Amino acid sequence: MSVQEILNWGIDVIRILQLFTADFFVLFMKGITLLGNETAYLIMLPFVLWCVEFRTGARTGLVFLLSAYLNFFFKDMLAQPRPFILEPGLNLIEASGYGLPSGHAQGSLVFFGMLALLIRKRWFTVISIILILLIAFSRVYLGVHFPTDILGGWFLGSCLLFGYHKFGNRFEQIVAQWSLWQQIVLSVATTGIMLIYNTHETIVIAAAFFGVGIGTILSVRFNYTQKPSSFSHHILRLLTGLIIGAAIYVVLAFIFPENGEPLYEPLRFARYFILVLWFTTGAFWLFRRFEKNSKPV
Protein backbone atom coordinates (compact mmCIF):
# COMPACT_ATOMS: atom_id res chain seq x y z
CA MET A 1 0.00 0.00 0.00
CA SER A 2 1.42 3.38 -1.01
CA VAL A 3 1.63 6.42 1.24
CA GLN A 4 -1.15 8.12 -0.71
CA GLU A 5 -3.41 5.10 -0.31
CA ILE A 6 -2.80 5.12 3.45
CA LEU A 7 -3.64 8.83 3.61
CA ASN A 8 -6.79 8.29 1.54
CA TRP A 9 -7.81 5.52 3.95
CA GLY A 10 -7.28 7.95 6.84
CA ILE A 11 -9.53 10.53 5.18
CA ASP A 12 -12.21 7.87 4.76
CA VAL A 13 -11.97 7.03 8.47
CA ILE A 14 -12.40 10.70 9.40
CA ARG A 15 -15.43 11.03 7.12
CA ILE A 16 -17.05 8.00 8.76
CA LEU A 17 -16.40 9.34 12.26
CA GLN A 18 -17.79 12.73 11.34
CA LEU A 19 -21.11 11.21 10.27
CA PHE A 20 -22.00 11.59 13.93
CA THR A 21 -22.26 15.37 14.26
CA ALA A 22 -24.42 15.95 17.33
CA ASP A 23 -23.55 19.36 18.78
CA PHE A 24 -22.89 18.05 22.28
CA PHE A 25 -20.46 15.42 20.95
CA VAL A 26 -18.53 17.91 18.81
CA LEU A 27 -18.29 20.23 21.82
CA PHE A 28 -17.14 17.34 24.02
CA MET A 29 -14.41 16.40 21.52
CA LYS A 30 -13.24 20.01 21.35
CA GLY A 31 -13.04 20.06 25.14
CA ILE A 32 -11.12 16.80 25.27
CA THR A 33 -8.58 17.96 22.70
CA LEU A 34 -7.86 21.04 24.84
CA LEU A 35 -6.38 18.68 27.46
CA GLY A 36 -3.49 18.14 25.05
CA ASN A 37 -2.80 21.84 24.49
CA GLU A 38 0.11 23.81 25.95
CA THR A 39 -2.12 25.73 28.36
CA ALA A 40 -3.45 22.53 29.93
CA TYR A 41 0.06 21.25 30.62
CA LEU A 42 1.04 24.65 32.07
CA ILE A 43 -1.68 24.02 34.66
CA MET A 44 -1.37 20.25 35.17
CA LEU A 45 2.42 20.15 35.59
CA PRO A 46 2.54 22.82 38.34
CA PHE A 47 -0.32 21.00 40.08
CA VAL A 48 1.76 17.81 40.18
CA LEU A 49 4.88 19.71 41.29
CA TRP A 50 3.16 21.71 44.03
CA CYS A 51 0.37 19.44 45.26
CA VAL A 52 1.27 15.82 44.44
CA GLU A 53 5.02 15.24 44.63
CA PHE A 54 7.87 17.40 43.38
CA ARG A 55 10.12 14.68 42.01
CA THR A 56 7.20 13.07 40.17
CA GLY A 57 6.44 16.40 38.52
CA ALA A 58 10.07 17.15 37.68
CA ARG A 59 10.68 13.74 36.11
CA THR A 60 7.45 13.95 34.15
CA GLY A 61 8.25 17.48 33.00
CA LEU A 62 11.72 16.62 31.70
CA VAL A 63 10.60 13.52 29.78
CA PHE A 64 7.51 15.32 28.45
CA LEU A 65 9.58 18.25 27.15
CA LEU A 66 12.09 15.91 25.55
CA SER A 67 9.15 14.18 23.89
CA ALA A 68 7.76 17.51 22.61
CA TYR A 69 11.17 18.44 21.20
CA LEU A 70 11.51 15.12 19.35
CA ASN A 71 7.93 15.45 18.10
CA PHE A 72 8.67 18.73 16.33
CA PHE A 73 11.95 17.35 15.01
CA PHE A 74 10.24 14.36 13.38
CA LYS A 75 7.30 16.49 12.20
CA ASP A 76 9.66 18.73 10.26
CA MET A 77 11.71 15.81 8.99
CA LEU A 78 8.70 13.84 7.71
CA ALA A 79 6.75 16.94 6.56
CA GLN A 80 3.43 15.13 6.21
CA PRO A 81 0.42 17.41 5.64
CA ARG A 82 -2.66 17.31 7.84
CA PRO A 83 -5.91 15.76 6.51
CA PHE A 84 -7.63 19.07 5.76
CA ILE A 85 -4.74 20.10 3.49
CA LEU A 86 -5.58 17.17 1.22
CA GLU A 87 -9.34 17.44 1.84
CA PRO A 88 -10.28 21.08 2.57
CA GLY A 89 -13.05 21.58 5.11
CA LEU A 90 -12.42 18.30 6.91
CA ASN A 91 -11.19 19.99 10.08
CA LEU A 92 -13.62 21.06 12.80
CA ILE A 93 -10.94 23.11 14.61
CA GLU A 94 -7.87 25.05 13.53
CA ALA A 95 -4.42 23.44 13.53
CA SER A 96 -1.07 24.37 12.03
CA GLY A 97 2.16 22.67 11.10
CA TYR A 98 2.76 19.14 9.94
CA GLY A 99 0.82 16.14 11.23
CA LEU A 100 3.08 13.11 11.71
CA PRO A 101 3.63 12.21 14.52
CA SER A 102 0.67 13.62 16.43
CA GLY A 103 1.88 15.90 19.22
CA HIS A 104 -1.35 15.51 21.18
CA ALA A 105 -1.22 11.72 21.03
CA GLN A 106 2.47 11.55 21.86
CA GLY A 107 2.34 14.23 24.55
CA SER A 108 -0.65 12.77 26.38
CA LEU A 109 0.86 9.27 26.29
CA VAL A 110 4.15 10.51 27.74
CA PHE A 111 2.62 12.88 30.31
CA PHE A 112 -0.06 10.59 31.70
CA GLY A 113 2.07 7.51 31.09
CA MET A 114 4.92 8.94 33.16
CA LEU A 115 2.53 9.86 35.96
CA ALA A 116 1.03 6.36 35.89
CA LEU A 117 4.50 4.79 36.07
CA LEU A 118 5.51 6.99 39.01
CA ILE A 119 2.26 7.17 40.99
CA ARG A 120 1.50 3.45 40.58
CA LYS A 121 -2.18 3.59 41.53
CA ARG A 122 -4.57 1.38 39.56
CA TRP A 123 -7.36 3.96 39.52
CA PHE A 124 -5.00 6.61 38.17
CA THR A 125 -3.64 4.25 35.51
CA VAL A 126 -7.19 3.54 34.30
CA ILE A 127 -8.00 7.26 34.14
CA SER A 128 -4.73 7.91 32.29
CA ILE A 129 -5.48 5.27 29.67
CA ILE A 130 -8.96 6.69 29.12
CA LEU A 131 -7.60 10.23 28.69
CA ILE A 132 -4.86 9.07 26.31
CA LEU A 133 -7.40 7.26 24.13
CA LEU A 134 -9.94 10.12 24.20
CA ILE A 135 -7.38 12.79 23.29
CA ALA A 136 -6.09 10.69 20.40
CA PHE A 137 -9.62 9.95 19.16
CA SER A 138 -10.55 13.64 19.33
CA ARG A 139 -7.69 14.56 17.01
CA VAL A 140 -8.90 12.15 14.33
CA TYR A 141 -12.58 12.99 14.80
CA LEU A 142 -11.89 16.73 14.53
CA GLY A 143 -10.05 16.15 11.26
CA VAL A 144 -6.63 17.45 12.24
CA HIS A 145 -4.78 14.11 12.25
CA PHE A 146 -4.75 10.90 10.28
CA PRO A 147 -5.04 7.66 12.31
CA THR A 148 -1.44 6.92 11.29
CA ASP A 149 -0.35 10.21 12.90
CA ILE A 150 -1.75 8.89 16.18
CA LEU A 151 0.09 5.60 15.83
CA GLY A 152 3.33 7.44 15.04
CA GLY A 153 2.95 9.61 18.14
CA TRP A 154 2.18 6.62 20.32
CA PHE A 155 5.19 4.73 18.96
CA LEU A 156 7.62 7.55 19.68
CA GLY A 157 6.07 8.22 23.07
CA SER A 158 6.23 4.53 23.99
CA CYS A 159 9.93 4.45 23.12
CA LEU A 160 10.57 7.33 25.52
CA LEU A 161 8.53 5.73 28.31
CA PHE A 162 10.38 2.44 27.82
CA GLY A 163 13.72 4.26 27.90
CA TYR A 164 12.86 6.00 31.14
CA HIS A 165 11.53 2.80 32.69
CA LYS A 166 14.75 0.93 31.87
CA PHE A 167 17.40 3.60 32.47
CA GLY A 168 15.80 6.59 34.22
CA ASN A 169 16.35 5.60 37.84
CA ARG A 170 19.98 4.62 37.27
CA PHE A 171 20.71 7.88 35.47
CA GLU A 172 19.11 9.90 38.28
CA GLN A 173 21.18 8.06 40.89
CA ILE A 174 24.39 8.89 39.03
CA VAL A 175 23.53 12.59 38.57
CA ALA A 176 22.40 12.90 42.21
CA GLN A 177 25.99 12.11 43.28
CA TRP A 178 27.42 14.98 41.23
CA SER A 179 28.24 18.41 42.61
CA LEU A 180 25.90 21.37 42.13
CA TRP A 181 28.05 22.82 39.35
CA GLN A 182 28.34 19.51 37.52
CA GLN A 183 24.56 19.21 37.50
CA ILE A 184 24.19 22.78 36.23
CA VAL A 185 26.74 22.14 33.47
CA LEU A 186 24.77 19.05 32.41
CA SER A 187 21.57 21.08 32.22
CA VAL A 188 23.28 23.86 30.23
CA ALA A 189 24.93 21.39 27.86
CA THR A 190 21.70 19.47 27.23
CA THR A 191 19.81 22.68 26.53
CA GLY A 192 22.61 23.82 24.22
CA ILE A 193 22.33 20.60 22.22
CA MET A 194 18.58 21.11 21.93
CA LEU A 195 19.15 24.63 20.60
CA ILE A 196 21.21 23.29 17.69
CA TYR A 197 17.90 22.42 16.05
CA ASN A 198 16.35 25.83 16.53
CA THR A 199 12.80 26.55 15.34
CA HIS A 200 10.02 28.81 16.60
CA GLU A 201 8.58 25.88 18.59
CA THR A 202 11.72 24.13 19.80
CA ILE A 203 13.23 27.26 21.35
CA VAL A 204 10.28 27.40 23.76
CA ILE A 205 10.66 23.70 24.57
CA ALA A 206 14.40 24.12 25.19
CA ALA A 207 13.72 27.10 27.47
CA ALA A 208 11.15 25.12 29.48
CA PHE A 209 13.51 22.13 29.66
CA PHE A 210 16.26 24.41 30.99
CA GLY A 211 13.83 25.86 33.52
CA VAL A 212 12.81 22.43 34.80
CA GLY A 213 16.44 21.29 34.91
CA ILE A 214 17.83 24.29 36.79
CA GLY A 215 14.73 24.56 38.96
CA THR A 216 14.93 20.92 39.98
CA ILE A 217 18.62 21.21 40.83
CA LEU A 218 18.05 24.28 43.00
CA SER A 219 14.88 23.08 44.72
CA VAL A 220 16.35 19.69 45.64
CA ARG A 221 19.64 21.26 46.71
CA PHE A 222 17.96 23.82 49.00
CA ASN A 223 15.18 21.48 50.14
CA TYR A 224 12.33 23.52 48.65
CA THR A 225 10.34 20.40 47.69
CA GLN A 226 7.98 20.38 50.65
CA LYS A 227 4.45 19.01 50.34
CA PRO A 228 1.42 21.06 51.39
CA SER A 229 0.30 20.17 54.90
CA SER A 230 -3.44 20.74 54.45
CA PHE A 231 -6.19 20.99 51.86
CA SER A 232 -6.26 24.77 52.26
CA HIS A 233 -2.55 24.87 51.40
CA HIS A 234 -3.29 22.90 48.20
CA ILE A 235 -5.82 25.52 47.14
CA LEU A 236 -3.61 28.42 48.18
CA ARG A 237 -0.66 27.00 46.25
CA LEU A 238 -2.68 26.62 43.07
CA LEU A 239 -4.28 30.04 43.25
CA THR A 240 -1.12 31.91 44.23
CA GLY A 241 1.24 29.98 42.00
CA LEU A 242 -0.90 30.12 38.86
CA ILE A 243 -1.87 33.78 39.30
CA ILE A 244 1.77 34.83 39.69
CA GLY A 245 2.76 32.54 36.83
CA ALA A 246 0.14 34.10 34.57
CA ALA A 247 1.35 37.56 35.60
CA ILE A 248 4.94 36.64 34.74
CA TYR A 249 3.86 35.33 31.33
CA VAL A 250 1.73 38.38 30.48
CA VAL A 251 4.09 41.06 31.81
CA LEU A 252 7.16 39.61 30.09
CA ALA A 253 5.22 39.20 26.84
CA PHE A 254 4.25 42.88 27.11
CA ILE A 255 7.71 44.31 27.86
CA PHE A 256 9.78 41.97 25.66
CA PRO A 257 10.08 42.51 21.87
CA GLU A 258 7.37 41.22 19.54
CA ASN A 259 7.91 38.75 16.71
CA GLY A 260 10.17 40.26 14.05
CA GLU A 261 11.82 42.76 16.38
CA PRO A 262 15.50 42.53 17.48
CA LEU A 263 16.24 40.05 20.27
CA TYR A 264 12.76 38.50 19.99
CA GLU A 265 13.94 34.87 20.06
CA PRO A 266 16.52 35.18 22.89
CA LEU A 267 14.07 37.04 25.10
CA ARG A 268 11.30 34.61 24.20
CA PHE A 269 13.63 31.89 25.46
CA ALA A 270 14.18 33.95 28.64
CA ARG A 271 10.42 34.43 29.16
CA TYR A 272 9.64 30.71 29.17
CA PHE A 273 12.74 29.93 31.22
CA ILE A 274 11.70 32.44 33.90
CA LEU A 275 8.11 31.15 33.88
CA VAL A 276 9.13 27.52 34.37
CA LEU A 277 11.77 28.51 36.93
CA TRP A 278 8.93 30.10 38.89
CA PHE A 279 7.01 26.82 38.74
CA THR A 280 9.97 24.73 39.87
CA THR A 281 11.79 27.00 42.35
CA GLY A 282 10.34 30.47 42.89
CA ALA A 283 6.92 29.21 43.89
CA PHE A 284 8.41 26.79 46.44
CA TRP A 285 10.45 29.58 48.00
CA LEU A 286 7.22 31.54 48.43
CA PHE A 287 5.27 28.52 49.68
CA ARG A 288 7.84 27.90 52.39
CA ARG A 289 7.30 31.43 53.63
CA PHE A 290 3.62 30.93 54.42
CA GLU A 291 3.48 27.18 55.14
CA LYS A 292 5.00 26.80 58.57
CA ASN A 293 4.03 23.16 59.07
CA SER A 294 4.96 21.70 55.68
CA LYS A 295 7.18 18.66 55.66
CA PRO A 296 9.98 18.00 53.13
CA VAL A 297 9.47 15.21 50.60
Closest CA to 279 of 79, 58, 32, 40: 58
On whether both 21 and 141 belong to a single domain, the answer is yes
Q: Which residue has the higher pLDDT, 201 or 62?
A: 62
On whether both 59 and 103 belong to a single domain, the answer is yes
State yes or no: pLDDT of 123 exceeds 90.
yes
State yes or no: pLDDT of 296 exceeds 50.
no
Helix ranges (H only) for the chain are: 3-17, 23-34, 38-47, 54-78, 83-86, 103-119, 122-141, 147-176, 180-194, 202-221, 231-255, 264-277, 283-290
Total domains present in the chain: 2
In a domain, residue 4? The reply is no
In a domain, residue 249? The reply is yes
Name the pLDDT band for 289 (thresholds 50, 70, 90): confident
Listed residues 119, 136, 169: the one ending a domain:
169
**pLDDT computed for residue 43 by the predictor:** 92
Q: How far apart are CA 114 and CA 121, in angstroms?
A: 12
On whether both 206 and 267 belong to a single domain, the answer is yes
- Mean pLDDT, residues 52-61 taken together: 94
Closest CA to 50 of 282, 279, 289: 279
Listed residues 169, 203, 224: the one ending a domain:
169
The pLDDT tens digits for 17-30 are: 999 888 899 999 99
In a domain, residue 103? The reply is yes
On whether both 131 and 26 belong to a single domain, the answer is yes
Least confident interval from 48-57, 130-139, 153-162: 48-57
State yes or no: pLDDT of 291 exceeds 80.
no
**pLDDT computed for residue 63 by the predictor:** 97
The pLDDT tens digits for 223-249 are: 877 777 778 888 888 999 999 999 999
In a domain, residue 1? The reply is no
Listed residues 169, 186, 201: the one ending a domain:
169
**pLDDT computed for residue 292 by the predictor:** 61
In a domain, residue 215? The reply is yes
The pLDDT tens digits for 109-120 are: 999 999 999 999
Range of the domain at 164: 10-169
On whether both 104 and 226 belong to a single domain, the answer is no
